[in-house]
């Protein structure tokens, strides 16, 4: 009789003297199919904590990128505003005639070398493709000159055969007129054209830019339009002084006009890029903050659930001992 009672008590206290007493108590309280491996709750909180750390690091990076973009924007914006006065006299003299029909069109697409700046590069590429489609025809030829890695990466997929020149790393050094005029001279030497269509994003504000197309006609087309009495008919009203002929003057004007328009376009696009990057990084920082708030709430709930579960196990174990 006494031995039977001792065996019953031994079976009752066996879980408490096992190598893993807490696991034994849990097995007696929680059904087998609902049990989780030991340490799962601590791993869960650790995962959330690591994720919070990663989001904090990303938020620091996006805030730093926003500050860098703001600094670059302040440096370029004054140059861009001053450069607008360079090409305006040419527009008054030669006009800006995008509707002129020519046989050889060259589309100069200006983009950035780096990403994380919203949709300015995609916008330029879309306008370039639309302009190419608009000016296509049986007797017409359209080619691309690309400035920037991002436009190159997009246009090379389906228009590789139409690309005649690619120029990158424009902003590796501070932009100046000498640098851009050399690029413009390379384009004029290597490309045959009747009209150059320069596509860029004109800077309006930090949160707004305007996709713009500027047209530069070749001297032959300018002379043809002037003689036909088109939009350039008033060009003949100016007197030519000196020994230069009208063709030579138009040649010099076309080259200088293209370099001035390119200088302004590159600066305007650089301003739009930095403004768009500021907006994108600001949105990313806000999104990281919201994600951090959600992760903090999840972490606190997980930790509280773990503490509550451990308290329940302790109370249940104490009740089992008393019973």
Tell whether the model's pLDDT for residue 32 goes beyond 70. no
Tokens of 272: 């739009």
- Name which residue leads in pLDDT, 84 or 284: 284
Give 160-195 as a 3 state SS string.
Answer: HHHEEEEECCHHHCCCCHHHHHHHHHHHHHHCCCCE
Cα 201 to Cα 151, 167, 301, distances in angstroms = 13, 18, 48
Q: pLDDT tens digits for 87-110?
A: 777 777 776 777 788 889 999 999
pLDDT at residue 61 in the model: 96
- CA-CA distance, 205 to 211, in Å (whole number)? 13
pLDDT at 284: 94
Cα separation, 275 vs 117, in Å, equals 8
What percentage of the chain has pLDDT greater than the value 90?
Answer: 43
In the chain, where are the structural domains located?
Answer: 2-49+299-322, 77-276
The pLDDT of residue 43: 52
pLDDT score, position 234: 58
Whether residue 273 has pLDDT greater than 90: yes
Q: Are 195 and 224 in contact (CB under 8 A)?
A: no
- The answer to whether residue 42 scores a pLDDT higher than 90 is no
Average pLDDT, the chain: 82
Instruction: Using the predicted structure, report yes or no on whether residue 243 has a pLDDT greater than 80.
Output: no
Give the pLDDT of residue 221. 84
> What's the pLDDT at 275?
94
- pLDDT reported for residue 279: 93
pLDDT number for residue 230:
58
- Convert the pLDDT of each residue in 127-170 to its tens digit: 999 999 988 888 889 999 999 999 999 999 988 899 999 999 88
pTM beyond cutoff 0.85: no
Kindly state the percentage of the chain with pLDDT values over 70: 81
- pLDDT beyond 60 at 26: no
Four-way CATH pick for 77-276: 3.30.1280.10, 3.40.1380.10, 3.40.50.150, 1.10.1660.10: 3.40.1380.10
Q: What is the pLDDT of residue 44?
A: 74
């Amino acid at each position: 009789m006494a031995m039977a009672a001792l065996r019953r008590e031994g079976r009752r206290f066996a879980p408490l003297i096992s190598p893993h007493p807490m696991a034994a108590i849990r097995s007696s309280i929680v059904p087998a199919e609902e049990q989780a491996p030991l340490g799962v709750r601590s791993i869960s909180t650790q995962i959330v904590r690591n994720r919070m750390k990663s989001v904090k690091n990303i938020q620091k990076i996006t805030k730093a990128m926003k500050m860098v973009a703001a600094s670059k924007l302040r440096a370029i914006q004054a140059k861009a505003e001053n450069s607008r006065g360079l090409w305006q006299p040419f527009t008054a003299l030669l006009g800006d005639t995008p509707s002129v029909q020519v046989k050889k069109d060259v589309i100069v697409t200006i983009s950035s070398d780096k990403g994380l700046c919203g949709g300015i590069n995609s916008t330029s590429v879309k306008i370039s493709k639309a302009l190419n489609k608009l000016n296509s025809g049986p007797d017409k030829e359209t080619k691309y000159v690309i400035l920037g890695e991002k436009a190159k990466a997009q246009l090379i997929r389906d228009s590789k055969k139409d690309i005649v020149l690619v120029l990158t790393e424009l902003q590796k050094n501070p932009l100046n007129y000498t640098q851009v005029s050399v690029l413009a001279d390379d384009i004029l030497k290597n490309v045959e054209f009747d009209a150059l269509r320069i596509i860029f994003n004109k800077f309006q504000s930090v949160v707004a830019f305007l996709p713009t197309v500027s047209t530069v006609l070749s001297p032959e087309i300018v002379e043809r339009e002037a003689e036909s009495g088109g939009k350039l008919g008033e060009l003949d009203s100016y007197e030519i002084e000196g020994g230069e002929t009208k063709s030579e003057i138009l040649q010099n004007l076309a080259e200088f006009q293209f370099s001035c328009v390119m200088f302004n376009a590159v600066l305007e696009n650089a301003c739009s890029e930095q403004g768009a990057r500021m907006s994108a990084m600001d949105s990313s920082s806000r999104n990281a903050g919201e994600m951090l708030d959600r992760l903090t709430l999840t972490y606190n709930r997980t930790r509280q659930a773990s503490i509550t579960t451990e308290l329940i196990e302790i109370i249940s174990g104490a009740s089992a001992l008393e019973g």
